[in-house]
Chains A and B, each alone.
Chain A
Amino acid sequence: MEQHAIVRTTDVKKSFKLGKHTLEVLKGISLTITTGRYISIMGPSGSGKSTLFNMIGGLDKPTSGKVFIDEVDIAQLDAYELAWLRCRKIGYIFQTFNLIPVMTALENVTLPMTFGGTGSDEAVERGMELLRLVGLDDRYTHKPSELSGGQQQRVAVARALANSPSIVLADEPTGNLDLNTGEEIITLLKKMSVDRGVTIISATHDFKMLNVSDEVIWIRDGLIDKIEQRDELNISVGNIG
């Protein structure tokens, strides 16, 4: 079966100006990510992992090179189309959860649906369904401050899935969680990827992620160090063990 490329980058470079110096963070990254897979982007901090991640998510524009999401060059999109892409095609999960503090769990989940034009009854119904999926349907009236870190992240997972996106981008989703809770979130993400066919791309340096990833992209100094598929990965992990 031919696999559809949901994300494709061609020779993406990004540099930042720090005073008089120009710092090249990404030095030409070309990769293709196919639909429905669970991808981890691994690399030490400062490797350009987060920058690459922001490019893929359409949150930042490359200095040169192109990023295609679903075969659409995101540099060509205007503000409205970009907003639509972020709303319908991509779900975001952040290290710091980033739920809207003044809204309840349910309102947080239904907000992207409202942006997407879903009527409020349908949004509530689907929101509750998603909260049930992440096991928080009995806490839908709680504000983020009344939820634990793991619970907040689960609400964030539900929110990311609100508009049934093709891609879920998770930036260090387990970075602020303890070991067990982190594992729960990883299992949840994997389940979503398998059940719903969502492509999950996560930037991380959490080795627990390796177990569930279909593909691991290692970034070092702004370049792709290596790309390992799941079967290769098992061997290398075996070697370490």
Chain B
Amino acid sequence: MQRLVALPFSKSVEIAYKSIRVRFFRSLITTTSLVLAVAFLCYVQVTTDIANGLLHGTVPGSIDALVGAGYDVAPGSVSIGETAKQQWLVVLSLLVCVVGIVNAQLMAVTERFREIGTMKCLGALDRFILRLFMLEAIMQGFVGSLVGALVGLLAALLSQTLMIGPIIFSSLPIGTLLLTAVKGIGTGCLLSLIGVTYPAITAARMEPVEAMRAE
């Protein structure tokens, strides 16, 4: 059908990117909670990865170093897991993070009622609005989790060096660490998307006249 309004994907990306850049500090606040949550997630996992690397490594004295650092290594054990308490904390922190994002995004949407209404008056479809907010969330999510993952990784390396000793660098499982970081970034993007879904749907469904009335 020729009577169709369109918004090319590249244009959506451009608009979303500009929106973030203009509202840099607001975006920063939304992203900070994500940075912290992902950093914590990566920290906990990388710590365990490093310990496991030592356990599986062939460097003499590794096991002693682990035990010295307070790990319970039973003879013949094949892996060191995260404690239940650690897992519980990670889940909680991610949950708090999502709630924070929903809150921040709801406020962001309220601030932009008029803008959304204007766009709809100019012919934007609901899904254009939805797409713009989703894209913004993914961009924020990606940058935030990238920073978070790096912070988590460095913090874990530092703390393990202090706790166990420089011996960890002799059997550092680089591949596993990278995989953990990638997983962390993925989780961050996902959380950011989950957090924006409800606010974005609210925004997209609004009738233009309601949006205009909002002062």
Give chain A's interface residues, CB within 8 Å of chain B: 54, 57, 59-60, 79-81, 83-84, 86-88, 92, 94, 96, 98-103, 111-112, 114-117, 120, 159
- With both beta carbons as reference points, the residue of chain B lying nearest to A117 in the complex is identified as B6
Complex interface residues of chain B between 1 and 49 (CB less than 8 A to chain A): 1, 3-8, 11, 15, 18-19, 22-23
Checking B4, B7, B117, B118 against A84 with a beta-carbon cut-off of 8 angstroms, the contacting residue is: B4
**Quick check: is B107 within 8 A (CB to CB) of the other chain?**
no
Task: Decide if B122 touches A87 in the complex (CB within 8 Å).
Answer: yes
Known contacts A94-B212, A98-B118; is-contact A83 B22 (Cβ 8 Å)? no
**Chain B residues, Cβ within 8 Å of A87:** 5, 122-123
Q: How far is the CB of A63 from chain B (nearest CB, A)?
A: 14
Known contacts A79-B126, A92-B122, A98-B114; is-contact A59 B5 (Cβ 8 Å)? no
**Roughly how many angstroms separate A115 CA and B7 CA in the complex, as a whole number?**
5
Known contacts A79-B125, A79-B126; is-contact A100 B4 (Cβ 8 Å)? no
**Range, interface on chain B:** 20 to 34
Checking B11, B19, B123 against A86 with a beta-carbon cut-off of 8 angstroms, the contacting residue is: B123
Task: Decide if A83 touches B124 in the complex (CB within 8 Å).
Answer: yes
Task: Decide if B123 touches A83 in the complex (CB within 8 Å).
Answer: yes
**Quick check: is B208 within 8 A (CB to CB) of the other chain?**
yes
**Quick check: is B207 within 8 A (CB to CB) of the other chain?**
yes
**Roughly how many angstroms separate A115 CA and B15 CA in the complex, as a whole number?**
13
Task: Decide if A111 touches B207 in the complex (CB within 8 Å).
Answer: no
Task: Decide if B123 touches A84 in the complex (CB within 8 Å).
Answer: yes
**Roughly how many angstroms separate A54 CA and B11 CA in the complex, as a whole number?**
29
**Chain B residues, Cβ within 8 Å of A96:** 114
Known contacts A86-B121, A111-B122; is-contact A102 B5 (Cβ 8 Å)? no
